[in-house]
Amino acid sequence: MNTPNGTKQPAPLAVVTVTYNPGRHLPALVESLGTATQRPTLLVCADNGSTDGVAQQLAEQHEDVVYLPTGGNIGYGPAINEAARALAARRAAGEIDADYFLVVNPDVEFTAGSIDHLITCAEASSRAGAVGPRIEEADGSAYPSAREVPNLVTGIGHAVLYPFWPGNPFSTAYKAGEDLSRRREAGWLSGSCLLVRWEAFDAIGGFDERYFMYFEDIDFGDRLTRAGWENIFTPDAVIAHDQGHSAKKYSAVTVPAHHNSAYRFQADRHPYWWQAPVRAVLWAGLKGRALLMRLLGRG
């Protein structure tokens, strides 16, 4: 496709969002894409069984929006992988950008130029496997979206104590290195908005589909690092995120999923038979946390 001045227009950047009754958020995301990049985009709604009809309606109204039913509520990472597989033919045919694609939650709104800033950051390093933006909450504060990968001790301490004692030393250690003022490498980046290099995605096999939700972005970032890629945070790109609205609405599902994913992440990294006691302590601690949260009415 050529622009009016005769130059060739770049192939659309694929943008993948996982939808589950997204309501008012998805139209706002679609609208914000128009100013977020000078490139054309193709928004793929990997739908996990929505009943509100919003994703289908937007796909009917916009040529650059695709409705892709996944067949049920298969989880966040699996839905992204499903969209990536569905895009393979378009990618091979040059119908979408062959270098990058964007993963984004449906409750995100982009600021002007934010996607272009992500791409510029990725192009500055050939080993950038994923690039994440500054994520701002409704009150304008920055969400700590670029962190170090938790080890066993800090992971357990943070998971068990943070809801009841936010200032505990384990959570303080877990949140160390949350500098959001400069471009830098991180252990992992929030999956709520992530520019991903196709080559890196293919190299590690995409998201681990054993994670229904939560920790799939930590696992993804950790596996990128282990494979020699970089996770880069850039404050030049800014998005707004209605953080956690779905989690609060479906807490009966999301709270157990969080605990199960936390266990899987650490258990995978302590897989040997002689580490069985470690896995047992981890499992017991997370189950105890879940019970305590239920008793206190926190999900």
Q: Is the pLDDT of residue 4 over 60?
A: no
Assign 267 a pLDDT band (cuts: 50, 70, 90). confident
Q: Is the pLDDT of residue 241 over 70?
A: yes
Q: Of 113, 163, 129, 157, whose CA–CA distance to 266 is shortest?
A: 157
Radius of gyration (C-alpha) of the chain in whole angstroms: 19
Beta carbons of 225 and 231 less than 8 angstroms apart:
yes
Range from 39-48, 87-96, 193-202, 278-287 carrying the lowest mean pLDDT = 278-287
Residue 2: the pLDDT is 44
Range from 78-92, 225-239, 283-297 carrying the lowest mean pLDDT = 283-297
Give 260's DSSP letter: H
Range from 197-201, 235-239, 282-286 carrying the lowest mean pLDDT = 282-286
Residue 294: the pLDDT is 65
Residue 244: the pLDDT is 57
Higher pLDDT, 180 or 164: 180
Q: Is the pLDDT of residue 49 over 90?
A: yes
Domains of the chain: 13-150+177-243 (3.90.550.10)
Range from 14-18, 108-112, 210-214 carrying the lowest mean pLDDT = 210-214
Q: Is the pLDDT of residue 177 over 70?
A: no
Q: What's the CA gap between 131 and 101, in Å, rounded?
A: 11
Q: Of 44, 79, 84, whose CA–CA distance to 62 is shortest?
A: 44
Q: What is the pLDDT of residues 87-109, one digit of tens each?
A: 999 999 999 999 999 999 999 99
Q: Is the pLDDT of residue 214 over 90?
A: no
Q: Is the pLDDT of residue 80 over 50?
A: yes
Q: What's the CA gap between 54 and 155, in Å, rounded?
A: 37
Q: What is the pLDDT of residues 225-240, one digit of tens each?
A: 999 999 999 999 999 9
Q: Of 59, 42, 62, whose CA–CA distance to 50 is shortest?
A: 59
Amino acid at 264: R
Beta carbons of 84 and 101 less than 8 angstroms apart:
yes
Residue 38: the pLDDT is 95
